[in-house]
Amino acid sequence: MGNLSTILAACFCATAPLAYIEVHEPKIEATQSSFKLGRETISTIRSSYENGEYNEIFTRLDESYKGADLAGFTQMRQREIPVKFQEKWEEKFTALQKERNRELLKAISDQDDSIFASKVRSIAANIATPEQEKALSKLNNFIMMAPGTGANADENVLIDLDIEYEYKLFEAELPMSDVSPEQMKAHQLALRMEKMDKMGQASKNFQDLSLKQAVGLASANLDARLARNIDGIDLNSLVKAKTKASNKTEESVYSIISSYQGQFSDLMKQIDHANQ
């Protein structure tokens, strides 16, 4: 389903560089006139999700998953990635991201209350405690693991759930005549909410207490992470579309994002090269 760098990027979608946020995200070209803050979008989707408004698409995807050929979704997972290599990559990624965030915050004024500035603050914000970061790192391991390869039964439950939702997110991206790009985006975000809820339900019976705690910590800031991803996608879309900056602040932000996209891309290439 993709090369190693793509899978590793997906692991860190919660804090991913803008170029790699939400691997299955529908392509909706953003313009500043259509901007909404990510937290507002997620609040709306969360309410709809809890009211059962996505149950029809969930049922459709459940039926599709029951008869699915998952060979393509498990093939890359057969590759064993050394723990030390993953830790080294994560360290480089985190350091590069912190540099970018510092530059982004310097580029905007504290008095700027525009949606654009709010989105910049959103993607540069530190929204996870050290404990949550460790929990996310622990759970991210499962996106690279094949079925049945967990250290215990609890880990295998989470690996199976990860494969299930990788499939469902992929299916939800496929064009359907009765689904708009905006609805497709909402479906994918709702699926991520459902996945976390299923992880939480499963963890209630876990014997592995550290894994149970990790699920709880990750669940606590899911919506904040999804909101930040939305803000990152919007800003990234402006850069990719080479949208003309309307002032020096926007020009600086575009330049910073573009520069670090290149650096993140180079890091991804290094990862692939090192594992060939």
Q: What is the pTM for the complete model shown?
A: 0.86
Decide if 172 contacts 61 (C-beta within 8 A): yes
- Integer Cα distance of 16 and 140 in angstroms: 12
pLDDT value of position 272: 62
Could you tell me how far CA 116 lies from the centroid of its own chain?
21
Decide if 78 contacts 6 (C-beta within 8 A): no
- Integer Cα distance of 14 and 218 in angstroms: 10
pLDDT value of position 247: 93
DSSP state of 78: G
**Residue with structure tokens 């064009």?**
175
pLDDT value of position 122: 96
What does each of the 276 residues of the chain score in pLDDT, given as a tens digit?
444 444 444 444 433 433 333 334 444 445 665 689 999 999 999 999 999 999 999 999 999 999 999 988 888 786 666 666 677 777 888 888 899 999 999 999 999 999 999 999 999 999 999 999 999 988 988 888 899 999 999 999 999 999 999 999 999 988 776 788 889 999 999 999 999 999 999 999 999 999 999 999 999 999 999 999 999 999 988 988 888 899 999 999 999 999 988 888 887 777 666 655
Contact partners, residue 195, CB within 8 Å, separation at least 6: 161, 165
- Integer Cα distance of 160 and 149 in angstroms: 10
pLDDT value of position 85: 67
Q: What is the torsion angle, in degrees rounded to the nearest 10, for the CA atoms of residue 256, residue 104, residue 20 and residue 241? A: -50
**Closest to 115 measured CA to CA, from 246, 11, 216:** 246
Q: Which tokens in the block code for residue 17?
A: 């560089």
